[in-house]
Amino acid sequence: MSERHGHVHAADGTRLVFRVMGEGPPLVLANGVSTSEFFWRKILPRWTPRFQVLFWDYKGHGDSEPARTKQGATVEAFADDLVRVMDGAGIERAPLIGFSMGSQVAFEACREAPERFSAVVSLLGTSRRMLDTALWRLGGRSMGALLGAVPRRVRPALRKTVHLGFSMPFTYRIGRAIGLYGDETGPDDVAEYVRHFGRLDPSTVTDVVLAAGQHDASDVLPQLTMPVLVIAGERDVFAPVGSVSRPIHAGAPGSRLVIMRKGTHGSLFGHAAEIERLVDDFLGDVLEDGLP
């Protein structure tokens, strides 16, 4: 399997690192906030033999630099980053899959450059104000209020405190108990997330979460001309079916909605085969050239 790395610069000058894995027609992935390529690691081996898969680290994540400006840490800026990354990778047009907040990035990118995307998949994500519906509404809004009240100089200390809490051995059991993830997510998966969380730039990520909590791309849904697939998790407490997935489906004419039984926000870890099948069936139906 071929793999190549590259970088581009965002509008604010931030250095963004991208990776392209596999061979074949292109497929572009947009991460969720505070995640990186490890969230896709169980499904990538299913796609890379047939697709040239492109993904990149958001500002303040993984190998990319922290955002140089506050404006550079918005969903709109990340959508612009996506187009720049595609240019840097030499990809003119491709299907786009946005996971979690990556769905907001995907829909915003479709507003900016609709001609670049042959199809869009919203995977366990929303189109608007992600904190309004996450964690039983109150949890998401409380998170936004807390983060908004934290001075920038205190953010590194808060990140360290949260990282320490995530590292505790009982964290996995608590997450299971309150439904953040289900049987499909194992302790090793959570441990990988905890390791990545320790690398995040706290100021950038805080700005991103607050910006995504205010961002709304629902107005672009009726204008989409490319095929749209919405994949929801029956038990997803971050992107609930009723308040998130069904409104996207209703707002995007001709879109498809599939609800994964027992699916949670961690379904990329345990439902990789099902997600691959859903995406393959969709792309096979809507792409002119079909699938490789």
Tell me the average pLDDT across 238-256: 97
pLDDT at residue 285 tops 60: yes
Q: What one-character-per-residue DSSP string does 114-168 give?
A: GGGEEEEEEES--SB-HHHHSSTTHHHHHHHHHHHHS-GGGHHHHHHHHHHHHHS
Q: Which helix (H) or strand (E) holds 232?
A: strand 228-233
CATH architecture classification, 3-286:
3-Layer(aba) Sandwich (3.40)
Helix (H, G, I), strand (E, B) or coil at 23: coil
258: left (phi over 0), alpha (psi -120 to 50) or beta: beta
- What Cα–Cα distance (Å) separates residue 291 from each residue in 49, 95, 213, 273, 283? 12, 11, 36, 17, 7
Q: Tens digits of per-residue pLDDT, 30-63?
A: 999 999 888 999 999 999 999 999 999 999 999 9
At 82, is the pLDDT very low, low, confident or very high (cuts 50, 70, 90)? very high
Q: What does pLDDT average to over the chain?
A: 91
Q: Which of 248, 275, 246, 212 is nearest to 79 (CA)?
A: 212
Chain position carrying tokens 């997330």: 193
At 80, is the pLDDT very low, low, confident or very high (cuts 50, 70, 90)? very high
At 150, is the pLDDT very low, low, confident or very high (cuts 50, 70, 90)? confident
- 233 exposure class (CB count in 10 Å sphere: 0-12, 13-18, 19+): buried
Q: Are 272 and 253 in contact (CB under 8 A)?
A: no
**Poorest-confidence range of 36-50, 167-181, 257-271?**
167-181
Q: What one-character-per-residue DSSP string does 49-102 give?
A: TT-EEEEEPPTTSTTSPPPSSSGGGSHHHHHHHHHHHHHHHT--SEEEEEETHH
Amino acid 154: pLDDT:
82
Instruction: Determine the straight-line distance between the first and last CA of the chain, rounded to whole angstroms.
Output: 16
Q: Where do the domains of the chain lie?
A: 3-286
Q: Helix and strand tally (H, E) in the chain? A: 12, 8
Q: Tens digits of per-residue pLDDT, 198-246?
A: 889 999 999 999 999 999 999 999 999 999 999 999 999 999 999 999 9
pLDDT at residue 292 tops 60: no
With both helix axes pointing from N to C terminus, report the angle between 202-214 and 138-149 in degrees, rounded to the nearest 10.
130
**Poorest-confidence range of 67-81, 127-141, 224-238, 243-257?**
127-141
Q: Are 171 and 190 in contact (CB under 8 A)?
A: yes
* CA–CA gap between residue 142 and residue 139 (Å, rounded): 5
